[in-house]
Structure formats: C-alpha cells, structure tokens
Amino acid sequence: MIQCMQRRGANVIMVPWDYDPFVKQNANHLRELLQEEGLRSEIEGIVISNGPGDPKYADRTIAITKRALEEKIPLLGICLGHQLLSLAAGGNTKKLKFGHRSQNQPCQMEGSARCFITTQNHGFEVSDLPPGFKTWFTNANDNTNEGIIHTKLPFMSVQFHPEATPGPVDTEWIFDYYLNKVKSKQ
C-alpha cells in the first residue's frame, strides 16, 4: 500500500493503529515531521489499512476515524480499514459464515458491468451501510459488500487489497482515484 501511494507521488507517514493525530502532542510531532520534509503541515489524507480480527474490538481506531470524518479528511479504507470506516461512519459489521480467503474473489463494481478479480483475507463483512454512503463493490459469489463510497465527501473503502495483483494491476487504480479526491480537496 505504501509503495503504491509513493509511486503516485504521495508522501506517506506510517503510524501505529492507535496513533491519534488529533491529540495535540501527536499533531505537533506530525507537523514537525512534515516540515522537516518540506511538506504542507497538515494531514491531507488518511489510509486505514488492513489487519486481523473483529473490527469492533478496534474501538480506539474507530474513534480516531470518526474524528477524521468530522474533520472531512479524505479517507481510504482497505480490508479491515473498510470495516473500521464503516463502523466509524455509523454502519455495522458481522462475521461471515465462510471467510473470503483467496486471490480469486470476483467483485462487481456498482453501476457497471465491470468485475474485478481481487485478493482477500477476512472473516467479517460490512452488513449495514453507513448513512451517506452507497455500495461501490459487491462480491459476485455471495453478494456481500466489498466497498463503499460516500455520495458527496472523499470517503471510500474496499474490502479487497488493491495493492495485490491477482491479475496484472486489476484494482490498483483505486489509489489513483483516492489521490485525485485528496488533490481536489486542497
């Protein structure tokens, strides 16, 4: 994920799952890091990455994501990040009967005939969409949600891994789409 963002010209600062950039001490630290690199001194976007387990246990990350939503910072969730963004925005998740664990999961893009072969490794799904969001992708095997996108704001997430390449670069375009939303917000 980091390499995909950097190849597109993004400057990436990786922080732990529970790092709160809105706490004054952390905000000052981030500002210093950005200034050292000669970059703008505010967060321009946040990618909520993958990880293990039940998303509802990540209450600290959910709270931080809620704050980012309130601040209208462009967000991209990937895998667990998809579930965390959904919970932070008011949606819900539940355990799948059979997890998606392969690199051949077909995902249909809503409103199009496009179906992408994706890589996935998760046991939970977004069961209820948050207010203001619509379905972006649906799993063609079991019709579970594979992505959401806000109808007006630059918030989006996918259950699959766009940085993985089960086909050549099937869904890596999602990074371009997200970064265009970040740039248009400036």
Active site residues: 79, 161, 163
> What residue spans of the chain are helical by DSSP H?
2-7, 24-36, 59-70, 80-88, 173-185
Residue 64 is encoded by which pair of tokens? 């931080």
User: Which bin fits 38, alpha (ψ -120 to 50), beta or left (φ > 0)?
Assistant: left
Q: Specify whether the CB–CB gap between 51 and 17 falls below 8 A.
A: yes
